[in-house]
Amino acid sequence: MHVPPYDEETVTALVTVATAAPSLHNAQPWQFCWRSAARTVELRADLRRAMPRTDPDHRALHLGCGAALFNLRVAAAHLGLDIQSRLLPDPSDPYLLAAVRIGGLGPPDREASTLFPAIERRHTSRRPFADRPVPADVQQALRDAAAREGAQLLFPGAWHLEALLDHVRDAEGRDALDPERLEDLRRWTHRGAQATDGIPDHALGPRLRSGRAPVRDFAGRRHVPGRPTAAFETAPNLALLGTGQDRPADWLRAGQALERVLLLATLNGLATALSSHALEERDLRELARDPASGMGFVHMVLRLGYGTPGTASPRRPVTEVLDLL
For residue 2, the model assigns a pLDDT of 46
pLDDT attached to residue 6: 66
- The CATH T-level fold of domain 8-116 is NADH Oxidase (3.40.109)
Please tell me the predicted confidence (pLDDT) of residue 55: 94
Q: Where in the chain is the domain with CATH 3.40.109.10?
A: 8-116, 136-305
What is the reported pLDDT for 111? 84
> Residue 24's pLDDT is what?
95
Q: What's the pLDDT at 298?
A: 96
Q: Which residues of the chain have pLDDT under 50?
A: 1-3
**pTM tops 0.85:** yes
Helix/strand/coil (H/E/C) assignment for every residue in the chain: CCCCCCCHHHHHHHHHHHCCCCCHHHCCCEEEEEEHHHCEEEEEECHHHCCCCCCCCCHHHHHHHHHHHHHHHHHHHHCCCCEEEEECCCCCCCCEEEEEEECCCCCCCHHHHCCHHHHCCCCECCCCECCCCCCHHHHHHHHHHHHHCCCEEECCCHHHHHHHHHHHHHHHHHHHHCHHHHHHHHHCECCCCCCCCCECHHHCCCEEEECCCCCCCCCCCCCCCCCCEEECCCCCEEEEEEECCCCHHHHHHHHHHHHHHHHHHHHCCCEEEEECCHHHCHHHHHHHCCCCCCCCEEEEEEEEECECCCCCCCCCCHHHHEEEC
What CATH topology corresponds to 136-305?
NADH Oxidase (3.40.109)
The pLDDT value recorded for residue 108 is: 66
> What was the pLDDT predicted at 115?
97
